[in-house]
Structure 1
């Protein structure tokens, strides 16, 4: 069972929203992690690379900031084998490539801009997630 944390969820969601708005306001860019990471890996050292590096560094540093503020890191339990994680990561990469974006780009930024493509993509990946969880927990006994 997942722990119910409404305050932390609210704060986290607010920070994600503020980061998305700040990136759009300052750089005119969508905070889609897939696009940020791929641009970081394919762009050479220039002005575009710097903001991508800073955004990714902030994502990596966030748990350390939480550690400094609360004295503990988030508890993360991964109930899958390393092989399933690799397969899931690969399938996610394929999906974000074919879907022209990731959950953060479509779900957070796209829906807020009322993008029909992002709404359709978000409905698709959320429905797929619901079916996947149902099958793994109730049909295959995971």
Structure 2
């Protein structure tokens, strides 16, 4: 059995790390998406520009990626029988969990663990453990 190297995932991971490190080095901020978006809901004048630029860069990268040859996984053939109501409920639960954990998986998992933050390591273990349990229950129970 031979496994190919997922070059796009490797490059994407490296870009996430570089962007998180750059934001921390130049702004002293953690690149957690929930914190960045949350800061726009109650903005301080000095915080708005970099938050909009960061989010704009994410959107622009998503739009131009296919134009330069990067492709997205095709999830159209996946049928989980999930109702729209269940999807909305799941999204709300993710939002509540993000608020309770003082950050999202990107903030804790990429940036927090990269800084060896104990709180982020524990949060990421809880996120991942809950995800594993949810998938197991959803598929096997």
**Post-superposition offset of 1:40:** 1.4
The equivalent residue for 1:25 is 25
User: Runs in 1 of length 4+ with deviation above 6 angstroms?
Assistant: none
Q: Which runs of 5+ in 2 are unaligned?
A: none
Distance 1:100 1:69, change over 3 A: same
Contact 1:40/1:49 (<8 A) preserved: yes
TM-score (norm 1): 0.86
Given the superposition, is the C-alpha separation of residues 15 and 33 from structure 1 closer, same or farther in structure 2, using an over 3 Å criterion? same
1:62 is the counterpart of 2:92: no
Counting matched residue pairs gives 135
In the alignment, which residue of structure 2 is the partner of 1:12?
Answer: 12
Equivalent residues in 2 for 1:1-142, closer than 5 Å: 6-43=6-43, 46-70=45-69, 75-77=74-76, 79=80, 80-139=82-141
TM-score by length of 2: 0.86
Give the alignment's Cα RMSD to 1 decimal: 1.9
